[in-house]
Chain A
Amino acid sequence: MSPSQLAIEATGLRKAYGEKVVLDGIDLAIPAGTVFSLLGPNGAGKTTTVQILSTLIGADGGSARVIGHDLVDAADDVRGVIGVTGQFSAVDHLLTAEENLLLMADLHHLPRAEGRRRAAQLLEQFDLVDVAKKMAATFSGGMRRRLDLAMTLVGRPKVIFLDEPTTGLDPRSRRAMWEIIRGLVADGVTLFLTTQYLDEADQLADRIAVLDHGRLVAQGTPAELKRLVPGGHLVLHFPDAQALDDAARLLPAGPRDDNALTLQTPSDGSAHAVRTVLDRLDAAGIPVEQLTVHTPDLDDVFFAFTGGPTVPTQTTTTDNETKAAAR
């Protein structure tokens, strides 16, 4: 792919705060018109990456271009083509929704009439018409996030950075935000999305990169990443120790917990696989009380690419440790 088709290209981005290295050499090549998701836990360096690429802070090393403009030499050109919606709301709480949008229109130097038209259109699009004259301070988290994104769109950016756009939102607002993001993609902008939720990256992204301690530890499409991750299993809950023993002899054995009377067995979680396991237990006359299906999540992806915690002893039963022990 020629460089001109890349919306974002970065080489060796580094950032440290004192002794603490936050980014330790990040390379990115994100084609224009795609959705790229940076996935990682809190403190991995996601926000720092966004802050550097959006010209908010400087990098200590490396270089990057956004739509061909160098971050350092042409910072104002970069600012002219990007929009940023951060994890911390970037709305003016003392202004109304409409005033916030008009403020953006003024700062983008739109003619008055066009600014008003754009504001009205975004209020409509983001379902904020009813609260247009209300101060942003009174908004719910979901409304504030929608206003935030609407403000980002006033200047019709080519590249949009969304830093954890759904963190802290209730499920309904989260779904609504996903729909909005899908709409943006349809308009052809390039999206740089950070998230700590695998399902979010899965739903929205063309490509995902996993960030850990300031390094990219894996990259690929959602399907590629999930194929790389083991950890899908069933957890079977038995009524007594005898049934647990019998089942452990019968099934491909994962870790068992004698206190909780549970046994894990590897499985892809499909209906067919679940039925096979239950049929075998039935045929052997082993009673099962409960069954839960565990599919790979961020923990699994993350532990798989970072080595994860050491395998715990069989008697520990906390959720994370059992998941890790499954491998």
Chain B
Amino acid sequence: MKIVVAIKQVPSLADEVELNAEGTNLDFDAVDFVLNEWDEQAIEQAVLVKEAGSGAVTVIGVDATGELDGVLHTALAKGADAVAKVAGEFEPGLTSHAQARLLSSAIIDMAPDLVLTGVQAPDDLDGQLGPMLAALMDLPYVGVVNSVQVSGRTATVHKEYAGGLMAEFSVQLPAVIGIQAASQPPRYAPVSKVRQLAKTATIEEIETAEDELESGLSVRSMTRPVSVGHADMIAGDAKAVAGRIIAILNERGLI
């Protein structure tokens, strides 16, 4: 069975994000890029599916940052069997549409049985990658999935709803699944292995003729959200803060 995981790098939100001078997107020179955390879950789920049955996992992304290789080596260290990237000159801030078009034309040639991707990403302004891939490749899609089991030509998936409710679907393969969480927390990617793979592994570069990369949206501006209200910030050290919290709770009869 051929499993393909489509991934993308996104700006790290651990640090404060800076906007560019025009105010139309982030200042991509000032951000660190990390693997989208839902894609990390998708990679884990793919490796789990492989381990539960058989097959091979290929992880593929568009290198818009010049730093995708490290992510791909990490995927190999976690158990992916092959990695690939869409070749071309790309800039950070590629839209989901662009990613979906580039990736779908590369993935379709791989004739996958199962395509996994993160259910969402923090930069999904123009929609999520998974449903777009499904639409472009004419494959069924189920997202917000936290468990995938494959038996024969059918995948049984659990989709999460609000309130802890879940639905079970069976999906005929090939299909695209948007992963919310893998059935186990993602495994550790040993840096020892990542560094070794950086020396020994090959990353397949895939050319595509895709040039329709517009999302159909015009971004007028990006701003920090205007907050309707703001918390009353308690000053002082931890003791002072704790004291104030206790006072507030007392006032409201909560303790």
Q: Do A and B come from one complex?
A: no
Q: Using CB atoms and an 8 Å cutoff, list the residues of chain A in contact with chain B.
A: none
